[in-house]
Structure 1
């Protein structure tokens, strides 16, 4: 017997259960999705224990067709022929897959997760024909939630003798999630809401559903439906994330401060933009100057080194020639000495006419 049945047992007027009847848990569809070109099948591994392996199958009566499997150590594998139409989403450990669907892909899909020590977790998803997908109805009340807090939805129903079925569900876009489905003999809690809900029926014919640790994924249209021997009743709630502006203190005119703030922010944004532009130009100029100076310095260094090498080479050759033949005319120092001395003697000669 589940803990949800324990709550129901506190208020026997809900189903007028006999003493020898107990609510048994049974597998039912956790989610209903409208068939589209691309269908997202969400398994959402809840991190309850260590995951050993995750697998997807399509159920066709008693037969099961393997679609994909994911193992934390060995990675993912998609079976033929689904390897042409199925891909794991970015976070494979969550188990969510994307299916490029056709009309033949209508049916039941089951995600099973083997965990330790929790055991096997099952989630059943029905992909149905768009014509059979239920239409949403106008909400009776609006509820705002704060992520991380709890959300409580209450439904007061007329005083009746007995309730034959009670259902809570959430509609978001093209999918419907079953939260609670209870009959006098069976109870069902949706896969995504296990260990997150509290369900209580008060003596004054008021049913409340509390969901703990709500997130933005809990946004949608919730409905509570009751079937009785005297008729049925439904109440819907439009649940959305609480607007942060609603927590601000009231002002006479909310639009004026907003416009002034935007106008005041425009010059600051322009200044930042100009600062970034001039900064980029200055940085580019500095890099260009450094590059040119570096190239010139390297070129001059190479040229100076080449000149020193040539000078040393010429000096070495000249010394070698002197050592080989000091009286050779090819030695410019030896050859030039006599000539320069003879020229001095000619310049000093004296001529006289008698």
Structure 2
């Protein structure tokens, strides 16, 4: 019986060590950084926990309860700022100041919301040289607000892809929007704040990411990455620009102003020209001068010439 217990303990330990850890957001280490943990149902929050994961262990950073208040770890108390000390407004973002290389690692944010349940987000903090924000733009899409935007990419390589990932790349963080295991046809559930959906079918070589009802805040770089089991990858980056509508309003307003000016100016010019023509006298000297230049014909009577008589 003791051997069986020992064997089961080893099996559980092996399973825990081999379990792959996925992170929802990658943040570049900086002296001041923010770890975001927003959820659409955050207004029903009852408790929030920030922990740092060290292998199989967890280190508490801060715990916030709408009933019991907030408890901060002494280890992080002088290096973090957590704005929530009252029930509202709720902002679960964890702010670091004077961060150093010692803060590189995995962090987890857990929200307890009634009646939604428990929601957890994992954030990876990496050093600058490990922060892969490089993205050579391959395409660009411009959309008006409120439209449904579909981002698509087809694998250009001949090898078989095992995984496809859609990301939003920003200056200080990269958010995983969709992660699909193509060998199993299993899709990872995104912890990204906005609504979106993507395709995920076994053996597929084309991936779609759909963003319904886009807003100007959705503007940015989106990256699609196909990966093979041997480490090969094929990356495609798209820049999405969502207009704010102000440029269209200015264009319409400018066109209206120009039209009104044209309506006012053209009749004014026409009236001025007619007034200038009417100012000229109908018996001007020009007419007499023209008459003086004409030839005058006078009819003289013709008298017969008398012949002289010769004596």
User: Shift of residue 246 of structure 1?
Assistant: 5.3
User: Shift of residue 161 of structure 1?
Assistant: 7.2
Of 118, 121, 128, the match for 2:119? 121
Give the distance between the partners of 1:124 and 1:248, measured in 2 at CA. Answer: 42
In structure 2, do the counterparts of structure 1 residues 204 and 97 end up closer, same or farther at CA, with 3 Å as the change threshold? closer
Bigger radius of gyration: 1
In structure 2, do the counterparts of structure 1 residues 61 and 229 end up closer, same or farther at CA, with 3 Å as the change threshold? closer
Within 5 Å, give how 1:291-330 maps onto structure 2. none
Give the equivalent residue in structure 1 for 2:197. 198
In structure 2, do the counterparts of structure 1 residues 147 and 125 end up closer, same or farther at CA, with 3 Å as the change threshold? farther
Q: Is 1:33–1:128's contact at 8 Å kept on the other side of the alignment? A: yes
Q: Name the SS of the counterpart of 1:93 in structure 2.
A: coil
Given the two structures, how large is their TM-score scaled by the length of structure 2?
Answer: 0.63
User: Shift of residue 191 of structure 1?
Assistant: 0.7
Bigger share in helix: 1
Structure 2 gaps of 5+ residues are 1-19, 259-311
Q: Is 1:106–1:127's contact at 8 Å kept on the other side of the alignment? A: yes
Give the distance between the partners of 2:144 and 2:109, measured in 1 at CA. Answer: 30
Give the equivalent residue in structure 2 for 1:219. 219
Q: Is 1:159–1:205's contact at 8 Å kept on the other side of the alignment? A: no
Q: Which moved more, 1:149-158 or 1:175-184?
A: 149-158
- Computed over aligned residues only, the root mean square deviation of the Cα atoms, in angstroms, reads 3.5
User: Shift of residue 109 of structure 1?
Assistant: 0.6
Give the equivalent residue in structure 2 for 1:37. 31
Give the equivalent residue in structure 1 for 2:210. 210
Alignment deviations for residues 12-55 of structure 1 (CA, whole Å, 9 cap, x no partner): xxxxxxxxxxxxxx861000011000110100132078322111
Question: Does structure 1 residue 111 correspond to structure 2 residue 96?
Answer: no
Q: Name the SS of the counterpart of 1:104 in structure 2.
A: helix
Of 87, 94, 102, the match for 1:97? 94
Q: Is 1:88–1:95's contact at 8 Å kept on the other side of the alignment? A: yes
Given the two structures, how large is their TM-score scaled by the length of structure 1?
Answer: 0.56
Give the equivalent residue in structure 1 for 2:269. none
In structure 2, do the counterparts of structure 1 residues 143 and 246 end up closer, same or farther at CA, with 3 Å as the change threshold? farther
Give the equivalent residue in structure 1 for 2:65. 71
In structure 2, do the counterparts of structure 1 residues 105 and 166 end up closer, same or farther at CA, with 3 Å as the change threshold? same
Q: Is 1:168–1:223's contact at 8 Å kept on the other side of the alignment? A: yes
Alignment deviations for residues 139-174 of structure 1 (CA, whole Å, 9 cap, x no partner): 111223445443321113348574311111111111
Q: Is 2:145–2:244's contact at 8 Å kept on the other side of the alignment? A: no
Q: Which moved more, 1:200-209 or 1:238-247?
A: 200-209
Give the equivalent residue in structure 2 for 1:318. none
Within 5 Å, give how 1:1-354 maps onto structure 2. 28-47=22-41, 50-89=44-83, 93-100=90-97, 101-158=99-156, 162-183=160-181, 184-185=183-184, 186-192=186-192, 196-200=195-199, 206-228=206-228, 232-242=233-243, 244=245, 247=248
Alignment deviations for residues 62-118 of structure 1 (CA, whole Å, 9 cap, x no partner): 111111122223433322121111112477623112111112111111000112333
Alignment deviations for residues 231-271 of structure 1 (CA, whole Å, 9 cap, x no partner): 642210112331536536979x99xx8xxxxxxxxxxxxxx
In structure 2, do the counterparts of structure 1 residues 65 and 237 end up closer, same or farther at CA, with 3 Å as the change threshold? same
In structure 2, do the counterparts of structure 1 residues 201 and 77 end up closer, same or farther at CA, with 3 Å as the change threshold? closer
